[in-house]
Amino acid sequence: MNRAVFLDRDGVINRAIMREGRPYPPASLEEFELLPGVGEAIAALRAAGYRVIVVTNQPDVAAGLRTREAVEAIHRHLRGTLAIDDLRVCYHVDADECACRKPKAGLLLEAARQWSLDLRQSVMVGDRWRDIAAGQAAGCRTILIAAAYRERQAESPDAVVNSLAEAAQLILSSWHGHELTRSGAWTA
């Protein structure tokens, strides 16, 4: 496997907690709710030869709003429930100016090095502009899961769908076996 599907966590794998039109992560495992079709979508991607790697910003830890242990309890649950290959987390806030916080591509680039991934054959699936920008910066195809968030909108994702199940269907039926050319077009 030299290609991956990178998944954001909140709003892609699990239901985001909405407050005043903005998405927030669940505060604990008790608030965590897996979205419909996620397990099946991930299993289908793995069966088709994709690594499935979760890449998530969790700035509430640095901001003191969430404990690292609460976040890691959710991640232990994800690892035990879903057929994911890896899970990478940025615990920083924007002011830290780290390389790993999306919209920067650090989490994806680090995973690509470790797993020997071809990012041109990989896809980033997310529900926010930061996810799409990180995928674009890494050279991946991007799929936005449509959400009516009151925040900056993603610019020029390769596709827009309503769920991870739809994203997996698109990857497996339309994009599987295609790669990015230098001109930026996807070809067979």
Catalytic residues: 8, 10
- Concatenating the DSSP letter of every residue in the chain gives ---EEEE-SBTTTBPPEEETTEEE--SSGGG--BPTTHHHHHHHHHHTT-EEEEEEE-TTTTTTSS-HHHHHHHHHHHHHHS--SEEEEE---GGG--SSSTTSSHHHHHHHHHHT--GGG-EEEESSHHHHHHHHHHT-EEEEEP---SSPPP---SEEESSHHHHHHHIIIIITT-EE-TTS-EE-
